Chain A
Amino acid sequence: KAGVTQTPRYLIKTRGQQVTLSCSPISGHRSVSWYQQTPGQGLQFLFEYFSETQRNKGNFPGRFSGRQFSNSRSEMNVSTLELGDSALYLCASSLVRLGSQETQYFGPGTRLLVL
């Protein structure tokens, strides 16, 4: 079974631009979560989507948004990019909506560099 896939793997943007990242979950998985990884802040939860609805959101500004399609694929959008948005963005999928025992499986990430 194929794992979580993310595209593109690398991106270079300039301040003020916007960017869209894509994530395809493991086949049959219906929940997709997004995380930001930076050297300073570590791994931080952005949001979770399940059944095309945002179920949970981390402490990030409104410039960070996402959506999920009927086939469970998800996109994340960052508008008005700032230098501090440079990070590795990780997508994770799970079979059902996140619960206390649910395991998330991660993709390889999209590395975003904002110049």
Chain B
Amino acid sequence: GDSVTQMEGPVTLSEEAFLTINCTYTATGYPSLFWYVQYPGEGLQLLLKATKADDKGSNKGFEATYRKETTSFHLEKGSVQVSDSAVYFCALTSGGSNYKLTFGKGTLLTVNP
């Protein structure tokens, strides 16, 4: 079945450091790929998405490129801020006629001043 594998956390960085959170997937067909973010005590917010190979999603300084050849969708940000501290989830939709979001386990990011 479909699955998403994210790098294990937690990840701790200093402000202005470079961020990479790895995400690889297994899916039938041509999935769409998403990154969601969850701040403490809140629901999920869509961060960015890509719907076909080589698409780059970007938002708030974050970006990720849909790589079909490596089945990856790594999240990057050039300079993190304390306010970026949250849990990040990689996800995909696929499934023939019954689409649903399949999520990775999540990666906790803590950014220190």
Does B102 make an interface contact (CB < 8 A)? yes
CB neighbours (8 Å) of B74 from chain A are none
Contact indicator A48/B100 (Cβ below 8 Å)? yes
Q: What is the minimal beta-carbon distance from B51 to any residue of chain A, in angstroms?
A: 5
Does A100 make an interface contact (CB < 8 A)? yes
Known contacts A105-B46, A106-B44, A98 near B100 by CB under 8 Å: yes
CB neighbours (8 Å) of B49 from chain A are 103
Contact indicator B100/A102 (Cβ below 8 Å)? no
Contact indicator A55/B94 (Cβ below 8 Å)? no
Q: Which of B17-25, B30-38, B58-66, B75-83 contacts A (4 or more CB under 8 A)?
A: B30-38
CA distance A102 to B45 in the complex (A): 15
Contact indicator A45/B46 (Cβ below 8 Å)? no
How many pairs of residues, A versus B, come closer than 8 Å at their CB atoms? 61
Contact indicator A42/B105 (Cβ below 8 Å)? yes
CA distance A81 to B101 in the complex (A): 25
Which single residue of chain B is at the shortest CB-CB distance from A109? B43
Contact indicator B43/A45 (Cβ below 8 Å)? no
Contact indicator B89/A56 (Cβ below 8 Å)? no
Our pick among A55, A90, A99 for the contact of B43 (Cβ within 8 Å) is: A90
Does B93 make an interface contact (CB < 8 A)? yes
CB neighbours (8 Å) of A103 from chain B are 34, 46, 49
CB neighbours (8 Å) of B43 from chain A are 4, 6, 90, 106-109
Contact indicator B106/A101 (Cβ below 8 Å)? no
Contact indicator B105/A100 (Cβ below 8 Å)? no
- Write the residues of chain A forming the contact surface with B, with a CB cutoff of 8 angstroms: 4, 6, 33, 35, 42-43, 45, 48, 55-56, 58, 90, 92, 98-109
Known: A56-B99, A56-B100, A108-B43. 14 other contacts (CB 8 A): A33-B101, A42-B105, A43-B89, A43-B103, A45-B100, A90-B43, A98-B93, A99-B99, A100-B99, A104-B46, A105-B46, A106-B43, A106-B46, A107-B43
Q: Would you list the 6 A-B pairs with minimal beta carbon distance, nearest first?
A: A98-B99, A43-B103, A106-B44, A45-B100, A106-B43, A56-B98
